């Protein structure tokens, strides 16, 4: 359905005709897609027939993203190219800067206690598709991930973790020391200090 909306089939009637399902079935799917932020109503169109005008739908940026499978492959290729061209120090600086730039596109954490900042970091990792738990320590909090939101790239170039390190530091104003697990099943682990 998302692909049909992207291609210009934007009303319930046109979607139902293309999918060979009922208008009500299309409405059920559109309500779910709208709730998930993948489509929005973009306007009203007159159908030329007697009756009510039809609502038109269009993809949101999240809807476009849901249709693309290029991002993991592109990021993996980009990190491989950086690994081929840059030394370890330059690669780390590049990934840290990319993380800081990524943080600029997201809401900043409230600058509360270290625990509050760490909680915000865990929520950020989860919003990116990761999973994170927090382990309180003396003067630090460890953010332990089950998996990695950048796993495809990290498998190829372990230095990619510096991107998340830069992101967490810029997002929450913490020092994030990377202690990630690399290899076939990468997992995030960052020691956060104020």
Q: What is the DSSP string of the chain?
A: -HHHHHTT--SHHHHHHHHTS-HHHHHHHHHHHHHTTSEEEEEEE--SSSSPPEEEEEE-HHHHHHH--HHHHHHHHHHHHHHHHS-HHHHHHHHHHHHHHHHHTSPPPP---HHHHHHHHHHHHHHTT--EEEEE-SS-EEEEESS-TTHHHHHH-GGGHHHHHHHHHHHHS-EEEE--B-SSS-B-EEEEE-
CA 97 from centroid of its chain's CA atoms: 18
pTM of the model: 0.76
Q: What is the pLDDT of residue 71?
A: 85
> With the C-alpha atoms ordered 165, 166, 170, 171, is the resulting torsion angle positive or negative?
negative
Confidence of residue 50 (pLDDT cuts 50, 70, 90): low
Sheet holding 175-178, edge to edge: 132-136, 141-145, 189-193, 175-178
Question: Tell me: domain 70-193, CATH 3.90.1170.50, correct?
Answer: no
Domain-by-domain residue ranges, the chain? 2-67, 70-193
Tens digit of each residue's pLDDT (9 = 90 or more) over 53-78: 788 999 998 898 888 888 888 999 99
Interhelix angle 88-104/70-85, nearest 10 degrees: 140
Q: pLDDT grade, residue 111 (50/70/90)?
A: confident
Instruction: Give the mean pLDDT of 28-38.
Output: 95
Give yes or no for residue 164 having a pLDDT over 90.
yes
Distance from C-alpha of 130 to C-alpha of 124, rounded to nearest angstrom: 9
Non-local CB neighbours of 117 within 8 Å, separated by 6+ positions: 109, 110, 111, 172, 173, 174, 192, 194
pLDDT of residue 51: 65
pLDDT at position 49 over 80? no
What percent of the chain is predicted at pLDDT more than 90? 69
Average of pLDDT values for 106-124?
91
Task: Identify the weakest region by mean pLDDT among 14-28, 44-58, 132-146.
Answer: 44-58
Determine the Cα angle at 26 with ends 20 and 27, to 5°. 155
Calpha distance 17→39 (Å, rounded): 19
CATH of domain 2-67: 1.10.10.10
């Amino acid at each position: 359905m998302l692909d049909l909306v992207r291609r210009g089939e934007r009303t319930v009637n046109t979607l139902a005709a293309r999918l060979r399902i009922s208008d009500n079935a299309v409405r059920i799917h559109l309500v779910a897609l709208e709730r998930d932020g993948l489509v929005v109503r973009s306007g009203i169109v007159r159908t030329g027939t007697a009756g009510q005008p039809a609502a038109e739908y269009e993809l949101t940026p999240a809807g476009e993203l849901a249709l693309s499978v290029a991002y993991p492959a592109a990021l993996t290729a980009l990190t491989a190219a950086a690994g081929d061209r840059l030394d370890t120090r330059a690669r780390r600086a590049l990934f840290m800067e990319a993380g800081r730039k990524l943080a600029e596109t997201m809401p900043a954490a409230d600058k509360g206690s270290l625990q509050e900042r760490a909680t915000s970091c865990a929520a950020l990792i989860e919003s990116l598709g990761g999973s994170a738990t927090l382990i309180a320590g003396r003067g630090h909090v460890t953010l332990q991930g089950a998996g990695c939101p950048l796993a495809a790239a990290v498998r190829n170039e372990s230095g990619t973790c510096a991107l998340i390190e830069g992101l967490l530091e810029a997002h929450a104003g913490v020092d994030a020391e990377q202690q990630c697990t690399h290899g076939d099943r990468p997992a995030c682990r960052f020691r956060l200090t104020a």
